Chain A
Amino acid sequence: EVQLVESGGALVQPGGSLRLSCAASGFTFSSYNMNWVRQAPGKGLEWVSYISSSSSTKYYADSVKGRFTISRDNAENSLYLQMNSLRAEDTAVYYCAREWPLDYWGQGTLVTVSS
């Protein structure tokens, strides 16, 4: 059974940093591209970032470019999102999702940016 479990969400002050993790199981993680998608409270879905299976290709939404960094460790079956210079508008539930189309999603982890 495919499982994606996010962690690392927290309350952080504006300008702060946070690192999210996504632990994958039930499939050959190293063979799949991965994504981060977020959803602000009461709002729609917003794609954040993509990383290819080998980490050779990465894409970012304009709203996070230069502040967020996606990475992965295939040996550890883990996906990461390093978030720096956080803003109030980054407050959201962050989901990791497999591939395009986004065929499996985790349950999400809440990031709150507030003073």
Chain B
Amino acid sequence: QSVLTQPPSVSAAPGQKVTISCSGSNSNIGNNFVSWYQQLPGTAPKLLIYDNNKRPSGIPDRFSGSKSGTSATLDISGLQTGDEADYYCGTWDSSLSAYVFGTGTTVTVL
């Protein structure tokens, strides 16, 4: 069982915005940087956001991240059909001495 909780699915029409939450605790999100990963169908995951709110080169600014306390959020604005994928949050857990992923969220573009 993952220690980071995400909603199983979110959906919206093209051009709209979706928000994915990631809930943890003081031993993980509360005291460590959060990353977000995108996994398109049939492909390997890709880094989308790191250090809570930074985007790697090539990631459009439609993707944004934030963190408050023991929760983190990924926002996807201007939703496109190509954004249909699974999204995972991830961070270090100091109590477990392990890197932990969220339960994953499937984004569907209606």
A interface residue numbers (CB < 8 A to B): 35, 37, 44-47, 50, 59-62, 95, 97, 100-108
Pick from B9-17, B21-29, B66-74, B94-102 the stretch touching chain A: B94-102
Most buried by B among A45, A60, A106: A45
Residue of A nearest to B45 (CB): A105
Interface of A is mostly: strand
Q: What is the size, in residues, of chain B's interface with A at 8 Å between Cβ atoms?
A: 25
Most buried by A among B33, B46, B101: B101
Question: What is the predominant secondary structure among interface residues of chain B facing chain A?
Answer: strand
Q: Are B104 and A45 in contact (CB under 8 A)?
A: yes
Considering the complex, give the chain A residue whose CB is closest to the CB of B51. A101
Besides A45-B90, A47-B90, 4 other CB < 8 A contacts?
A45-B88, A59-B99, A95-B44, A101-B51
